[in-house]
Amino acid sequence: MLSNQPKDDYKAQASDRQVLFQAQIVNSLGLAVIATDVKGNIVFWNEAAEKLYGWRSAEVIEKNIVEVTPTKESQQAASAILENLAKGESWSGEFEVQHKDGHWFVAEVTDSPVINQLGDFVGIVGVSKAVVRSSPRLDKDKENLPVANRPNSSGTFLALITFFEGSLLRAGLLAAGCVGLAASARWGLGMLWSDILPFPTFYPAILFAALLGGLWSGVFSVLLAGLVGWSAFIVPHSASSALSAGQKISLLTFVCASLLIVWGATQYRRLLQHYVLEENYRKVVVAELGHRVKNKLATVYAILRHELRQHPSIWESVSGRLRALSTADDLLTEADGHGLELTAVISKELSPYPEEQISISGESVLLPGKLAVSLALVIHELATNAAKYGALSVSNGSIDVSWNRTDQELQILWTENKSPSLVLTPARKGFGTKLIEGALTAFGGSVESQLLPHGLRCSIRIPLRAISEAPDFFAGRG
């Protein structure tokens, strides 16, 4: 009876070769690449992985991945991920891992199953990089924190809302304190003017209590203010036990106005907290979209590198543009909440194109984050159109981008030279044209385009007041 051992060994070797082949493809991305067999035993560990995790390749080859990179707390989750990968399911996300020296950190990991031509699962290729974020271990604790204490939540006001909202006792003490101060102010005013109305100082106290303490704090402050105002500033001035018409109107006005204040303050609190949650969600979505775009670009990069391995000159040109496009995409996340130099914005957007065809000149200007992103979108659209139809679509064409500032605005001039024959202006505006014309309107800016014989001339004007919110926005000024 013949043994199947040589056949099994051949199949195992073929599977390992396929896993190593795919690992070598993604190895060109400059990220940590780890490949394992079907059991999770490491068969490939590149130089970037050595730097990230501290282990040399010879130290980890044939070791199980679960025993090397995950922390003790995340080993169970790692085993579950391996089971899903064995079913042909990819996995991507942030994961808590550890360095050889024992310290842990968070890595952005993408694991993909390797399937051979017969449809059999033969191994896993994983790509990872460190991220500057909190670990899943800390995120569990953050989920239990109120919104104001989470990252990206702003300010003392939200922190105070959360502090008083978390306890009825604190909310009650807040209401009592506000009413006490209002009563003291009313008593002091009564010493100066004897004919002052009973409740005017209590309205701000009720508003303050309702804004910080919420509905119950607001309602309690209304009851307490009504009781104090009645007993201290109405009854002592009543000649009889019956209230006068004026006192009745004053008391009724106080109740209605106070309840309206409490309702309005409560609605404002809800809108504010909803805004914070939506802002945090937006940032998560932006980060996730950026992550997906990078992954897709990395896949295209790896495939082209493999397919063009016999054409190094073509690959050198293509790879440079792919890297430049990736750098330009980073603007969408880099500028979120931070300032960016105008030169950097324009240079990054034009970096995929030949340097000899582009001229950039102007003083140093620091743009606020949102304005930088909007302007980057405009420059990106102009560059894309130039590459399709304008000066960048021909080898002898060129683009000049310059800017200067007046007393009231920043002026940016985009000029294309030696463009091919111009086409007629389309009857219907596309998305790109609408984006160019409307991206800066929120900042009071404007974009005017002209089709001249030598090419497109585009004038961008941005008021200085839209830029001045960034500190030291003209870094080169005297």
Q: Which pLDDT tens digit goes with each residue over 114-150?
A: 877 677 888 888 888 887 544 444 444 444 434 333 4
Q: Which two tokens stand for residue 425?
A: 């202006």
328: pLDDT strictly greater than 90: no
pLDDT tens-place string over residues 241-294: 566 777 778 788 888 998 999 999 889 888 887 887 787 777 777 767 766 776
Does a structural domain hold residue 324?
Answer: no
Helix (H) or strand (E) holding 64: none
405: CATH:
3.30.565.10
Domain count, the chain: 3
Out of 141, 175, 191, pick the residue that ends a domain. 141
Of residues 200 and 326, the one with the higher pLDDT is 200
Q: Are residues 128 and 161 in the same domain?
A: no
- For the residues 86-111, what does the mean pLDDT come to? 86
Q: Are residues 105 and 21 in the same domain?
A: yes
Does a structural domain hold residue 237?
Answer: yes
396: pLDDT strictly greater than 80: yes
- Report residue 287: phi and psi, to 5°: -65, -40
Quick one: what percent of the chain has pLDDT higher than 70?
A: 74
Average the pLDDT over each of 282-291, 404-413, 417-426 and give the range with the smallest value. 417-426
Q: Are residues 89 and 70 in the same domain?
A: yes
Does a structural domain hold residue 299?
Answer: no
Q: Are residues 385 and 269 in the same domain?
A: no
Out of 95, 114, 141, pick the residue that ends a domain. 141
Average the pLDDT over each of 64-73, 135-144, 209-218, 461-470 and give the range with the smallest value. 135-144
**So what's the pLDDT on residue 376?**
83
Quick one: what percent of the chain has pLDDT higher than 90?
A: 12
**Assessment of whether the complete model's pTM goes beyond 0.75:** no
How large is the angle between the packed helices 215-229 and 202-213, nearest 10 degrees?
160
**So what's the pLDDT on residue 144?**
44
Q: Are residues 70 and 179 in the same domain?
A: no
Q: Which two tokens stand for residue 186?
A: 């009313």
Q: For the chain, what is the mean pLDDT? A: 77
Does a structural domain hold residue 293?
Answer: no
Q: Are residues 341 and 441 in the same domain?
A: yes
Residue 402 CB-half CA count within 13 A: 7
Sequence-separated (6 or more) residues with CB below 8 Å from residue 275: none
Q: Are residues 168 and 112 in the same domain?
A: no
Does a structural domain hold residue 288?
Answer: no
pLDDT tier for residue 14 given thresholds of 50, 70 and 90 = low
Determine the length of the chain. 478
Out of 279, 295, 318, pick the residue that ends a domain. 279
Q: Are residues 170 and 250 in the same domain?
A: yes
Does a structural domain hold residue 297?
Answer: no
pLDDT tier for residue 64 given thresholds of 50, 70 and 90 = very high
Of residues 158 and 416, the one with the higher pLDDT is 416
How large is the angle between the packed helices 431-438 and 369-388, nearest 10 degrees?
140
Within 331-438, strands assigned E span 340-341, 358-361, 366-367, 398-405, 409-417
- For the residues 404-428, what does the mean pLDDT come to? 78
Does a structural domain hold residue 292?
Answer: no
Best-predicted range by mean pLDDT (135-139, 202-206, 326-330, 433-437): 202-206
pLDDT tier for residue 458 given thresholds of 50, 70 and 90 = very high
- For the residues 323-352, what does the mean pLDDT come to? 72
- For the residues 39-48, what does the mean pLDDT come to? 88
**So what's the pLDDT on residue 139?**
45
Q: Are residues 133 and 155 in the same domain?
A: no
- For the residues 147-163, what does the mean pLDDT come to? 55
Strand order in the sheet with 358-361: 358-361, 398-405, 409-417, 455-463, 446-452
Q: Are residues 182 and 93 in the same domain?
A: no
**So what's the pLDDT on residue 147?**
39
Q: What sign does the CA torsion over 402, 405, 406, 409 have?
A: positive
**So what's the pLDDT on residue 154?**
47
Please identify which residue in the block is written with the tokens 């569990």.
140
**So what's the pLDDT on residue 31?**
77
195: pLDDT strictly greater than 80: no
pLDDT tier for residue 60 given thresholds of 50, 70 and 90 = very high
Q: Are residues 156 and 122 in the same domain?
A: no
**So what's the pLDDT on residue 151?**
41
**So what's the pLDDT on residue 281?**
76
Average the pLDDT over each of 200-209, 325-334, 335-344 and give the range with the smallest value. 325-334
Q: Are residues 135 and 153 in the same domain?
A: no
CA distance 459 to 429: 18
Please identify which residue in the block is written with the tokens 């050595």.
50
pLDDT tens-place string over residues 342-374: 998 898 888 888 889 999 999 988 888 778 878
19: CATH:
3.30.450.20
pLDDT tier for residue 161 given thresholds of 50, 70 and 90 = confident
**So what's the pLDDT on residue 17?**
57
Parent domain of 60: 5-141
208: pLDDT strictly greater than 50: yes
Does a structural domain hold residue 315?
Answer: no
- For the residues 413-431, what does the mean pLDDT come to? 70
